[in-house]
Every structure is written in C-alpha cells, then in structure tokens.
Chains A and B, each alone.
Chain A
Amino acid sequence: MIEKALKGSRNYWLWIGFLLLVIAAGFSAFSRQMWEGLTVTGMGRDVSWGLYIAQFTFLVGVAASAVMVVIPYYLHNQKAFAKTVIVGEFMAVSATLMCMLFILADMGRPDRVLNVLLYPSPHAMVFWDMLVLNGYLLINLVSAWTVLGAERKGVPTPAWVKPIIYLSIPWAFSIHTVTAFLYAGLPGRHLWLTAVLAPRFLASAFAAGTSLLILVTLILKKTTGFDAGNEARQKLAVLAAYAGVANFFMIGTEFFTAFYSNVPSHIHGLQYLFFGLEGKSSLVPWMWLSMLLGLGSLAVLFNQKLRHTKNWLVAACVGMVASIWIDKGVGLILGGFVPNPLDEITEYGVTLTELGVTLGIWAVGILVLTLLLKVAVTVKREQAS
C-alpha cells in the first residue's frame, strides 16, 4: 500500500522536498548539539528542561486526541466520523513519533536510550511512559493500516483488529495520564504538584488535538479534494469547545487554590507565568496571549453561526491550538522550574540550534503524516471511483 505515497503531483513533491530540507537543517542542528553538548540550548542548571520536553508534552496530547474520533465512530456508531477516523489515527501515529524524537533530542546520552529497557524501573514514570507511548504508536498504526488495507481490497475488516481498536481508547487516556504523572509526582515543583494536572492535560489535549484534526481535514480537502465531511468537523468543533471549557475551568481552580490559600510556594509558579516574579516576566505576554486566544476561540466555537462559517472555524481552531501550545508547550514546563528549589529565578531563552532541532522534528512528523495520509486518500479515492 505504501507505494501509493510514491506517486503524486508536482506540489506534492515540492512539499516533500521542503520538509526534507527542514529535516536536513534540523539534523545539522542536532549534530551540533551532539558534538558540543546541550549547552547549545537555552537550558541550564536551573531550567533543566525546555522547548523539547514542552513539545513532547503538547504532542502527547495531540496523539491522545485521536480518541475523540475513535469513540464516536467505533463505540457510538456515528457514521459521520467514517472518513475522519483514519486521519485521527494517522495523526496520532505521527504525533507519538514526534514525542519520542523530542525525548531523544532532550537526552544527554541518546546512545544509551536502551538502558531504559535493559534496567526496567517500574518506580520511574519514564519507564511507564515509554511503554504506553510505544504501545500507542503500534496500536494506531496497526489498526489504521489494517482497516485501510481491508478497504482497499474491498473485504470486511478482519475481526482481530476490533479489540485492538477498542484497546486504543483506554490507551489514549493512559498516555496522557502517565505523561502528567511524569510531572505531578515531583515534590518541590509546586506548579506541577497538583492532582488536577492529569485531567487538565486530557482536557487541553482534547481541545487542541481535536482543533488540529479539524484543520488537517480542511487542509486535506483543499489540497487533495478529500473531504472528511462538514458534519464530522462540526461535531468535533463542539467536542473541542467543551474540552476547552473544562481546561479553562481547571486553570481557574488552580488559581483559586494557589491564591486563596496564600501558600507562597503554590503561588510562585502561577505568579511568575502570569504576572512576573521579582521583575522577571518574560513569559507574561505569552501566557495572556494564550488566555486571550483560548477564550476567544471558545466564544467562536460556542456561537452556532460563527462555527458554521468556514473562516471563523479555521480562526477558532488555530486560536485554540496556539493557546494550548503556549500554555502546555511553553508555560507549564518552564513555569515548573521558576523559581528553582532555592527560590532563585533564572529565565530561559530558546536558542537557534534548539529551534532548528525542534522544527526538524516537527518536519519529520509532518512528513510521516503526509505520506500516511497520501496513502489513505489514494485508497479512499480508488474505492470511491
């Protein structure tokens, strides 16, 4: 089936070529990082995780959000999602792959990554995260590929794949829960030390991931003519809106607990992010932009008329993705390190090398998604004709 990705229009190949260029640039940035060490990034002794781990966190959410199409289609038999399921599943595959690459890019000794398997440590959340992420990648790839393959041959989907698809539902929740547990179990990092982190991760994932899925289906429609259907998009938009409400509600509860209790260590992280701490405030504009974009997008998504207007829908989805990317892909990780355990404030600034590696990994993910969707669209089109 993969041969279908090898035949395409001029624009298709231009796009592939562009992605390969970005990947090459990212690889060169990565080799510089390997050579000189992680000193070439903006990370340091005080802020010891940065853009890489933040992207990883955001993308786990994107991966998990595939469940937002799998549940209605397979569990509730909502036929409107028939054409979206494959897009969601392939998006999960590419997002999970990017997650793993970001973890590798963040490691000081990526050559030793197999130590995680050689010395399995069930007390470490990383061990579980590795298991669930790899499992999720496999589950989605196998189920999407098999269903698509059956469709191509015009035969019914093999029975063995159904349990795997059902398994993907709790599995999706598990990947983002375990990812939240990476942070939520660390003493002394008060921004993360909250039981609401895992539910908030899920809510923000379902808001941003679903919005991203809507955007991908619109891009597909424009570039290939393959339309997942307006009905599916509208339903997804409503799901994204409610997930967004849950996310902002939980952010609100964080504010209440921190500021009403008045416990300094609980306040400091949020204060640094949203108001600045001791004159250090580089993330403040970002966090408010995130708030504004998120709440604005919610307003659009809840407006029946605006939601049905394509341009407004696109704007709201872009806004929601951007809002949560900032909140989760920048603020949450950096905020956990400020102030540091000795109450000192060090700010983080991203470097060009780090940005190069990040863009390179995104390009790998988008390339994989492009190839997978190219196969899917070609198969679907052949079936239709």
Chain B
Amino acid sequence: MNEDRRSFIKKAGIGLLAGIGSAAGLFPVLSLEKTVLPAWDEKPVPGKRRWGMLIDTRKCSGNCRECVAACHFTHNVPDFGNRKDEVKWIWKSSYENVFPTASNQFQSPEVTGRPYVALCNHCAEPPCTKACPTEATFRRWDGIVSMDYHRCIGCRFCMAACPYGSRSFNWRDPREGIRLASTEYPTRMQGVVEKCNFCSERLVQGKEPACVEACPEAALVFGDLNDPASEIRKLLESNETMQRKPELGTKPSVFYII
C-alpha cells in the first residue's frame, strides 16, 4: 500500500512539473524566468540587423575599469594573474597598441595618452570564422560573431586569424580562475577558445551589453548599424570615426571617436 502511494506521489509530482513546464512554454506569463518576446517575435533574417558599437574615447576616463569588470564578472571570465594564461573579452590598451597602423606622428599627447577599449570587432568579413574547421565560431544573422564552446576543438586557428588579438584560449581549467561566480552565463571548459559575444545572452532579454550599461561616462553606444534611424548611425554620421586596421578589409562593427 505504502509503495503504491509513494509511486503515485512520484508520478503525480512529475506530471505536475511537466504540466507547469509545458504551460510555461504555452503561456509566457507562467514561465519562471522572463523571456522578452520582442527578441523572438521576428524571424531571424540573415543580414537584416548588424549590431555594432561606438566608443567615444573622449569620454573614456583613464582610471576606471567598470566596463572590463562588468563584462568579466557577467561572463565568468577567469583571472589567473599572468599574461600567458590570460583570458579577456574586453580590455584597455594604449593608442599605439589598439591602432598600430594609424598615424601617431605629431599626434597630441592627450590623444595618444588616452586609454582605448579593445574588444572583438564582430567583423562583417571575419577572418576567424573562415579559418574555423568546425563552424564552432560563426557569424550570426544579427552580425554577432559567436562561439559554440561545445563544438570547438581548440586548434586555435581563429586566434592566428584574428588581426585584433581578440580571442583567448583556455590554457587551463577556467573555473579555478573565477573568484566570484556569475549565474548569468555558463563557465567554459579547458581547451576551448572564447571571446566577446556582444552580450547576445543579454540582448535576448532586451538588455544592453554589460560594458555599455556599466560605463559611468556613457562612452559606449550600442545599436543596429543597419538601421539608419538608430542612435549609433546618427552618431557615426555626425562624427569622424575610426575602425581598427580597416586596411585588412575585415569591416569591424566597433567604431571609435578619437
């Protein structure tokens, strides 16, 4: 008798969970985690959208690291404290490092002394996706160059192909290098490549990228480069901007106001 009751409770419980699960799928109001529907209500059309970023380096202050900290915390980017094993999605560097082919003769010291934020350019013509032998890195319909960590074989061809040094490899178990774990993005495993994903996991929730949100100077503007009415497009038209190594024909989606 007891056995029967136990198995009845088990089955009823499973049935109830399944019921809630399917109900959440059918009625979005019932889901435990909110999904913003506008992100899904249109069918992805390749090339329709192209996410991009504009960095107003005049506003970027030298002393803060909010964008880096927010990104690296959100995405569980490990920190081992050494350059060899380093994993980074976004970082600050000098003018001559971020723009090694740009002219720096007689440039004002104020300009060359400023910090410059570097991250994946989400190129329209990405050399990294071309070099990948398994399609583990690929360009999405919305222009984001994305990674499938479960397919990556760790050959590091994308790292050799990227002319911006935007990709990092997990030389060791990344979980050992995470001090404060975030629940917003899964950790990676040893032996795969990773990089900035333009916060695609936040975009589906209708949020801006973590770095954009975190910047106290509002120096980072994020938007759709294919939409002529977007703020980013208006700023691109009204300002003189620069891309990193445009001569390589990669068509970066990250722009800089110097």
Contact = CB atoms under 8 A, between A and B. Distances in A.
A37 B190 contact: yes
B250 A116 contact: no
A116 B86 contact: no
B137 to A, nearest CB: 10
Interface in B152-195: 152-157, 159-165, 168-173, 190-193
Most chain-A Cβ atoms within 10 A of its Cβ — which of B83, B130, B155, B161?
Answer: B155
Interface in B235-258: 245, 248-250
Contacts of B130: 123-124
A126 B154 contact: no
A260 interface: no
A189 B85 contact: no
A207 to B, nearest CB: 26
A337 B93 CA distance: 19
Given A37-B173, A45-B85, A48-B160, A342 B155 contact: no
Contacts of A130: 133
Nearest to B93: A342
A39 B172 contact: yes
A127 B133 contact: yes
Interface string A178-209: 00001100111100000000000000000000
B216 interface: no
Contacts of B98: 342
A113 B100 CA distance: 36
Interface residues of A, number: 44
B136 interface: yes
Interface stretch (A9-17, A67-75, A91-99, A103-111): A103-111
A43 to B, nearest CB: 7
B217 interface: no
B22 interface: no
Contacts of B190: 37, 108
Contacts of B100: 265, 341-343
B84 interface: yes
Nearest to B100: A343
B154 A39 contact: no
A124 B132 contact: yes
Contact of B165 (A108, A113, A336, A342): A342
Contacts of B86: 44-45
Contact of A116 (B96, B153, B161): B153
A340 B133 contact: no
B164 A43 contact: no
Nearest to B150: A112
B96 A336 contact: no
Given A107-B191, A342-B165, A48 B156 contact: yes
Interface string A112-127: 1101101101011111
Contacts of A108: 152-156, 169-170, 190-193
Interface of B: 83-87, 93, 96-98, 100-101, 118, 127, 130-136, 151-157, 159-165, 168-173, 190-193, 245, 248-250
27 contacts: A37-B171, A45-B87, A45-B165, A46-B83, A108-B153, A108-B154, A108-B169, A108-B191, A108-B192, A109-B154, A109-B191, A110-B153, A112-B152, A121-B132, A121-B135, A123-B130, A124-B134, A125-B131, A126-B131, A127-B133, A186-B131, A187-B249, A187-B250, A189-B163, A341-B162, A342-B98, A342-B118
**Which 9 A-B pairs rank lowest in CB-CB distance, beginning with the nearest?**
A108-B154, A188-B163, A108-B191, A44-B84, A126-B133, A39-B171, A37-B172, A343-B100, A124-B133
Given A113-B153, A187-B248, A265-B101, 9 more contacts: A44-B84, A107-B191, A108-B153, A108-B190, A121-B132, A124-B130, A126-B131, A126-B157, A341-B164
